[in-house]
Amino acid sequence: MSEDRTAEIAWNRELWAIVNERFTDGAAESMWRRPEVVWGLFAAPERELRVLGDVRGLDVLDLACGTAYFAAWLTRAGARPVALDLSGEQLATARGLQTRLGPGFPLVQGDAERVPLADGRFDLVVSEHGAAAWCDPARWLPEAARLLRPGGRLVFLTNSTLSTLCVPADGGVAGDRLLRGQRETHRVQWPGGGFEFHPSHGEWVRELRAAGFVIEALHEMYAPADGLDHPFYEIVSREWATRWPAEELWVAARA
């Protein structure tokens, strides 16, 4: 890994320590207590999207898991997850929630671009607003493929390309104008934020294919008409997200 990328990863790790301290604790508990699997800023139910399928008995990796609420949901659904994240602080929050609320499952600190786990260990890799935004797709997608068994599936959620194009240069909520060129979004640092990756659709297709995946679906995610703004992630408003897709949910299979 280059020295520059090492510095970026260290910056992101420090940022998530701050995010964990300021915002995560109460929000994480609320997410852990949810009775079903949902996706994204506006909690789209998995029972409607049906991208995961039956996870009972599957070995699943929650990649760049944050506070590991998704792995908790998967455990209750009958899966055998491992949750991995770069941030020790986020994992400490997850560990505390395991103790207070359950269920228990392995928590691993590690970089999604260099995962310290064995080849072919998992049937499913999931990442909800995790690896896709915070890791280089040329590095984390081959890792996901390495970790999957033949025929295993990758499901990940990230910000929509359009929302990234519409966020002002000084940060804040997306508007109704394109404010940057599409090539500028491959790697972005928001003011006061971390280093993120927001490839175009064409880039995602190329990187997924190069890593050995066959793309099964791309779901463009909107807000429900009667929903609310997210309590602290402000990249899009509910009103904006009823008109344009706020997020993209990709589904792929290892060839």
The structural domains of the chain, with segments of one domain joined by +, span 3-158+188-222+244-254
Could you tell me where the DSSP H helices lie in 191-237?
201-210
Higher pLDDT, 235 or 67: 67
64 in Cβ contact with 86 (< 8 Å): yes
- d(CA 110, CA 86) in angstroms, rounded, equals 5
Residue 157's H or E segment, with its range, is: strand 148-159
> Contact, 245 vs 160, CB < 8 A?
yes
Residue type present at position 141? L
**C-alpha to C-alpha distance for 171 and 213, rounded to whole angstroms:** 33
Q: What average pLDDT does this structure show over 136-165?
A: 97
CATH number for the segment(s) 3-158+188-222+244-254 = 3.40.50.150
pLDDT of the residue at 6: 80
Neighbours of 135 (CB within 10 A): 27
**59-63 and 80-85: which strand pairing?**
parallel
Choose among 157, 176, 160: nearest CA to 168.
176
* Chain mean position to CA 141: 13
For residue 1, count other CB atoms closer than 10 A to its CB: 12
Residue 137's SS3 state is helix
Token digits of residue 210: 């190069």
Higher local confidence (pLDDT), 7 or 65:
65
pTM of whole model > 0.85? yes
Q: Tell me, what's the pLDDT at 169?
A: 82
Whether residue 3 has pLDDT greater than 60:
no
